Structure 1
Amino acid sequence: MTEQDLQILVKDGIYKGKPLGAKLEETHISWILLTNELVFKIKKPVKLSFLDFSGLTTRKTLCEKELRLNKRFSPIYLDVLPVTKQVDGYEIGGESGQIIDYAVMMKRLSAAKKMDTLLAVKEITSEDMVALAEKIADLHRNAQVISTAFDPNVQMATFNDIESIKLFAARHLTKDYLNIIDNATSTGNAFIHHYADRMAERVRLGFKRDVHGDLHSGNIFIDKEPIIFDCIEFNDAFRQIDVLSDIAFLCMDLEAASQGSLSEIFLTIYCDQFPAFQQSADNQIFLYYKCLRANIRAKVNAVSAWESEGSEPFQEHLEAAEKYLRLMNDYVMQIQGKAD
């Protein structure tokens, strides 16, 4: 599906014989069409270092995988429908015409109930965190156990990819931030050398599972019960991880929003429901995973700033990159103070 096809679909497309009437939002890898009651998510035909959406058959397969995986967490995922080109326009769910793409169909929920929105106005309660912790603990407890061995070299390479933004940092940030990156990578490498045996043992004990992989407040709705959505389908390695890495993203996110008390409530309830911390080394590993999640957030925002240089979003992304680099450094300082 081309950008031109998409614009016509958004403007004049049909669903069930009626005008689609959609509003378009997009990410780096998806087009998201919002109607009054439904959401249609279409994968962009892109090929990146960590995913390949370039082929129509692949996009269909990954849409079906996205539906299946997210139904583990969420009742909002409904179906995968073809996007067809008709003689007189474009249709979602049509039974005739040329299939040009596929869309994951979901129920639309109120954006005002997204957790990141509620965090910004300090409207997340301790009761919300208890319910969320209980739900995630239950999902983790019942998730498929993954036996693929821990690879310290892959782990270090993932962390050290933050070095890819050093050229950008040298141009747009102070030297302090370059020092933060260098200190973080050297500390991260030393940490893995020290704790690799325990991280491998956690895999053997069954704590590596097929979970969410992108568990942050932007992928959670807080309603009568929490609704989790948008897990990673395009790269199994990003989703099949230690459960501590999965919850570390959410706890880091809460701490980045200056809501450390909510993070503590979440962890207390989660651990009551699913004892994923079994020895003191696991606390250190959890801290490392929070550091890694801040690292990745810093990198993503730096890349977004780089790509938007000269446009309005640049400053927002730049400030976010600085914030997450500072948070990563806070975790590094804690690791250096606690590691044996």
Structure 2
Amino acid sequence: MKEEAAQKQLIEALLDPACYPHPVGRIQHVETHISHVLLTGDFVYKLKKPLNLGFLDFSTLDKRRFYCEEELRLNRRLAPDIYLEVVTFNGEIAAPCLNGPGPVLDYAIKMDQFDPKTTLDRLDHLAQLSVQHVDTIASTVADFHLHIPSALMDSPWGTAEMIWDSVAHNFEHISKQAGEKPEGLQWLEAIHQWSVAEHNKLLSDFELRRVQGYVRECHGDLHLGNMAWEAGKLLIFDCIEFNPALRWIDVMSEVAFCYMDLLFRNHHDLASRFLNRYLERTGDYAGMKLLRYYAVYRTMVRAKVAFIRAAQSGLSVEMAEYERQQGLDHLQLAERLTRVVKPVLMITHGLSGSGKTVFSQSLIMRFEMISLRSDIERKRLAGLEALAKSGSSVESGIYSREFSRRTYDFLAELAEILLEAGWHVLIDATFIARWQRELFQQIAMRCGVGFYILDFPVPETLLRQRIQTRNVTGKDASEADISVLELQLKTQEALTHAEAHMVIETTTVESVAAKLKAAVTLHNSLLLFPNQN
């Protein structure tokens, strides 16, 4: 209590502009449950409260210094221009001086001040969240995950036991508040049963992810409220510094947080876009086996936080009710995420330049699925970036018959993993050879899922025009040129009569999405009621 009282005195003194060596406007003091934040105009100073809450401990001056340094280190990975340095307030408590002489009164993180109206949750509230924002989030997070260190195998991070401790902790806190409404208890019970079963099913996967290095020192709190769009650039801030167990996690747990946040805000289109762009960049399709489990967990974390806020003293009746409803809404989303339908497998069919990729990218925003693009996965197999030039000519290098076979086999392997994990899958490739189509039809039969062909019949003159235009820009993973098109025209094998019955006409994206939704509904109803016609 002595340290808390002393810090309160210090905060009052720091409201005086004379404490700072730089120009200061009207100082604003924002208090959170673990911090004091002072906004001075150009800079922000964030002090940690002298608290020990079990999951965090800032109770001594040395600990506050350590966690300030940790916060600076962790956040400079994603926002180096915002997180500037750790500073001290020195001297007398009634007249403190920034980085001055005398004893250290407390430590703070100095940050560049940005407009709070630019945070992405605020932009979403104003209906200004866009595809550009989501694409930038996906690429930024993907590159971040690809370069941060993996946990050592002798560390406790990412073990099945540690993961379950976090999951179980949510249920303990939510059970009392959720019981205020009957449906809340029903959702909670369904989520608990599903979580136990899913956790046990994934035990070997948790260990495999550790061995493969996917447990890394992540951000830990990746939602729209911790992102901003400042001068056309994405800022991701406020990493979790106070508890390493909350940031040393599977990268897919981090992806699940942002994915869930977009779903909760009713951006199913952007959630699907984010997921596909992230996977396209990282190639971590195997991680999708765990994505739904982690998305449910992250949704439950948000429900727990909302219920805790609702129970805080001093909250108005209206705010308490709002937070309770937020908790219930997150609970409802978590329950919906546990309901997995039987997926479908789709392949495209069309020559280079027929518009398969453009159509596919629009379709994933209207019908949530994972799109696998042969142009990108072919290059990934060769160790190349998506836009890199392979230097291969027609039917040689990565476009030889042997490498093409290897590419389709790899796509088939990924498709099967995704289908077994309950995700709809679209393979974006030419599929002009019958053996290629048969390979994926066999996968659909083996997995017991629906199989559809999206056909792209386009006049040859238009194909030539599109390919020439695309090659001029050089901003596409496809390396197909006119010579490739001419070979395809000579060697393509038309759809058989049997395959024609599997075709969905690609008139409009909306019509295809509607047909796929109807097909999924019908297929799943037949699984539930197999004796009904």
TM-score, structure 2 normalization: 0.59
Structure 1 residue 5: Cα displacement: 2.7
State the partner residue of 2:199: 192
Q: Are 1:233 and 2:241 counterparts?
A: yes
State the partner residue of 1:117: 122
Structure 1 residue 244: Cα displacement: 0.5
Deviates more, 1:148-157 or 1:282-291: 148-157
1:333 match: secondary structure? coil
1:40 match: secondary structure? strand
Structure 1 residue 85: Cα displacement: 4.3
State the partner residue of 1:65: 70
Deviates more, 1:9-18 or 1:188-197: 9-18
Q: Say if 1:18 and 1:112 are closer, same or farther in 2 by CA, change over 3 A.
A: closer
> Structure 2 residue aligned with 1:34, among 11, 26, 39?
39
State the partner residue of 1:2: 7
Deviates more, 1:311-320 or 1:112-121: 311-320
State the partner residue of 1:208: 215
> Structure 1 residue aligned with 2:52, among 47, 54, 58?
47
For 1:322 and 1:33, locate their aligned partners in 2 and report how far apart those are by CA, in whole Å. 33
CA deviation string 1:213-240 (max 9, x = no partner): 1111011112312111111111111111
Q: Say if 1:310 and 1:37 are closer, same or farther in 2 by CA, change over 3 A.
A: closer
Higher relative contact order (Cα pairs below 8 Å, separated by 6+ residues) = 1
For 1:207 and 1:18, locate their aligned partners in 2 and report how far apart those are by CA, in whole Å. 45
Deviates more, 1:205-214 or 1:150-159: 150-159
State the partner residue of 1:329: 335
Q: Are 1:308 and 2:303 counterparts?
A: no
Identity %: 29
What does 1:136-285 correspond to in 2, within 5 Å? 136-147=141-152, 148=155, 150-161=158-169, 162-170=171-179, 173-223=180-230, 224-278=232-286, 282-285=287-290
For 1:252 and 1:167, locate their aligned partners in 2 and report how far apart those are by CA, in whole Å. 24
Residue 148 of structure 2 aligns with an amino acid whose one-letter code is A
Greater C-alpha Rg: 2
Structure 1 residue 17: Cα displacement: 6.5
Residue 254 of structure 2 aligns with an amino acid whose one-letter code is D
Structure 1 residue 10: Cα displacement: 2.5
Kept after mapping to 1: 8 A contact 2:252/2:288? no
Structure 2: gaps spanning 5 or more residues: 1-5, 344-419, 423-533
Kept after mapping to 1: 8 A contact 2:90/2:106? yes
Structure 1 residue 18: Cα displacement: 5.7
CA deviation string 1:166-206 (max 9, x = no partner): 22333xx2122122222212221111111110121011111
Q: Say if 1:335 and 1:324 are closer, same or farther in 2 by CA, change over 3 A.
A: farther
For 1:202 and 1:9, locate their aligned partners in 2 and report how far apart those are by CA, in whole Å. 47
For 1:335 and 1:44, locate their aligned partners in 2 and report how far apart those are by CA, in whole Å. 47
Number of residues paired by the alignment?
A: 334
CA deviation string 1:134-181 (max 9, x = no partner): 1111111001011336432322221122222322333xx212212222
Q: Say if 1:310 and 1:270 are closer, same or farther in 2 by CA, change over 3 A.
A: closer
Structure 1: gaps spanning 5 or more residues: none
For 1:270 and 1:36, locate their aligned partners in 2 and report how far apart those are by CA, in whole Å. 36
> Structure 1 residue aligned with 2:102, among 79, 97, 100?
97
Structure 1 residue 49: Cα displacement: 2.2
Residue 248 of structure 2 aligns with an amino acid whose one-letter code is Q
Deviates more, 1:77-86 or 1:237-246: 77-86
Kept after mapping to 2: 8 A contact 1:64/1:80? yes
For 1:78 and 1:52, locate their aligned partners in 2 and report how far apart those are by CA, in whole Å. 23
For 1:308 and 1:289, locate their aligned partners in 2 and report how far apart those are by CA, in whole Å. 31
Kept after mapping to 2: 8 A contact 1:287/1:335? no
For 1:19 and 1:283, locate their aligned partners in 2 and report how far apart those are by CA, in whole Å. 49
Kept after mapping to 2: 8 A contact 1:53/1:59? yes
For 1:311 and 1:221, locate their aligned partners in 2 and report how far apart those are by CA, in whole Å. 29
For 1:12 and 1:215, locate their aligned partners in 2 and report how far apart those are by CA, in whole Å. 34
2:77 match: secondary structure? coil
1:10 match: secondary structure? coil
TM-score, structure 1 normalization: 0.91
Structure 1 residue 19: Cα displacement: 5.6
For 1:28 and 1:67, locate their aligned partners in 2 and report how far apart those are by CA, in whole Å. 20
Q: Say if 1:221 and 1:19 are closer, same or farther in 2 by CA, change over 3 A.
A: closer
Structure 1 residue 336: Cα displacement: 11
